[in-house]
Amino acid sequence: MPWPCLRQARLGLRAVKEAIRMRLALVVHPSRRVTTPLETLERWARTHDIGIVQIPTDGGSTRELAKRGELQEGDLVITLGGDGTVLSGLRAAAPVGVPVLGVACGSLGALTATHADRLEQALERFRSGDWSAHRLPALAIHPSESSDAWAVNDLVIVRRGAGQVVLNLYVDGELYVRLAGDGLIIATPLGSSAYSMAAGGPLLAPGTAGVVCTPLAMHGGNAPPLIVPAGAEMRVEIHPSFVGFDAQIDGHTSPMQDLEYRISLEPGKVTLVAFGDDQHMLAGLRQRGLIADSPRVVARDARA
């Protein structure tokens, strides 16, 4: 039975019409080998008479592996690479509201839903309706003068060069800390497992509604990483040294140089394709060695 028929009750007539027009919209890692998954995509698309286009992304790959096209309703974004490529795909997909299927060309990450060698099975599951929409929140970033922005993982205010950056962090108008140091990370629950965790911040378990604010190499004073509830608004005032500072969004330097930002958590900003057997975030962190058991416990198991 065709995919639109199976999904009609859930999607409604308008969404079914969009499903019939579905194309595969590619976002590709700039250097990883993607020949085999690309051949799988092309073969599967020919079998089901589905078009393939490669869509533009901010700071994305210059590799041209399919004809260029603009994203449209009814498309499925396919990212070939790792978590960084998925982030690029999510940023491209958000304005149109289409889902993103992350394909790991290497180790399975926190955002990729399938390995490249299981891509055809994943496509068949999507086509048959055997998938769920994993809605992820994002940081809504409101600079004092620049255009609004958003981040799936984190916003980082970081010193430039050898100088320090001084900033004030407020939560719902209440001052938390005035810090001098390398900077500050403000991370979503997903982003809590990225730069923030590497800097000593806490992990937010999947489903936690909150934001993590993690100071970077604070020079004196005391300000532990702060977990802020989802409904709160954070405000950052920046007092840079003569060498300035950088604002980074999801690992990419932004042109924003505003000295004040208001940040809040926006629920359901982007959509990932997820399957029922997807690995959970905590298990994934353990598998990749980012969470490791105490050596004493490992030695005890080895003796047993």
Residue 83 appears among annotated catalytic residues: yes
Q: Is the pLDDT of residue 280 over 70?
A: no
Q: With 50 as the cut, is the pLDDT of residue 13 above it?
A: no
Domains and CATH numbers, the chain: 3-131+275-287 (3.40.50.10330), 138-268 (2.60.200.30)
Report which residue type is found at 136.
L
Active-site choice (49, 58, 75, 83): 83
| Two tokens, residue 68 | 């260029």
- Sign of the Cα torsion 159, 225, 210, 268 reads positive
Distance CA 279, CA 131 (A): 14
- What was the pLDDT predicted at 279? 54
Question: What are the tokens at 82?
Answer: 């790792």
The dihedral formed by the CA atoms of 73, 151, 176 and 216, expressed in degrees to the nearest 10? 170
Q: What is the DSSP string of 191-202?
A: GGGTHHHHTTPP
More confident of the two residues 57 and 298: 298
How far lies 186's CA from each of 32, 234, 280, in Å? 29, 9, 23
- Indicate left, alpha or beta for 202 from its phi (over 0: left) and psi (-120 to 50: alpha): beta
Which pLDDT value is given to residue 16?
A: 42
Task: Compute the average pLDDT of residues 192-207.
Answer: 93
211 vs 235: CA distance, rounded Å: 13
Judged against a pLDDT cut of 60, whether residue 49 lies above it is answered with yes
The answer to whether the CB of 247 falls within 8 A of the CB of 156 is: yes
What angle do the packed helices 35-47 and 119-128 form, to 10 degrees? 30
What is the residue type of 182? Answer: D
Give the range among 26-40, 64-78, 80-94, 274-288 with minimum mean pLDDT.
274-288
Instruction: Tell me the per-residue pLDDT of 117-168, one tens digit each, with 9 for 90 and over.
Output: 999 999 999 999 999 999 999 999 999 999 999 999 999 999 998 889 999 9
SS3 257: coil
CA distance 143 to 235: 10
Parallel/antiparallel/unpaired status of strands 174-181 and 165-171: antiparallel
More reliable by pLDDT, 251 or 16: 251
Query: Percentage of the chain with pLDDT > 70?
Result: 90
* Whether pLDDT at 276 is above 90: no
| Selection from 167, 162, 156 nearest residue 218 by Cα | 167
Query: Tokens at residue 255, please?
Result: 């042109």
For the chain, what is the mean pLDDT?
A: 88
pLDDT digits (tens, 9 = 90+) for 57-106: 876 566 778 888 899 999 999 999 988 899 999 999 999 999 999 999 98
Q: Which two tokens stand for residue 127?
A: 């086509």
| Rounded-to-integer distance, Cα 143 and Cα 258, Å | 6
* DSSP helix/strand/coil, 224: coil
Is residue 26 within 8 Å of 60, Cβ to Cβ? no
Name the E strands within 106-201. 114-115, 132-143, 149-151, 154-159, 165-171, 174-181, 183-187
Contact 29, 105 (CB under 8 A): yes
Look at residue 7 in the predicted model and tell me its pLDDT: 42
Residue 193 to residue 187: CA distance in whole angstroms: 9
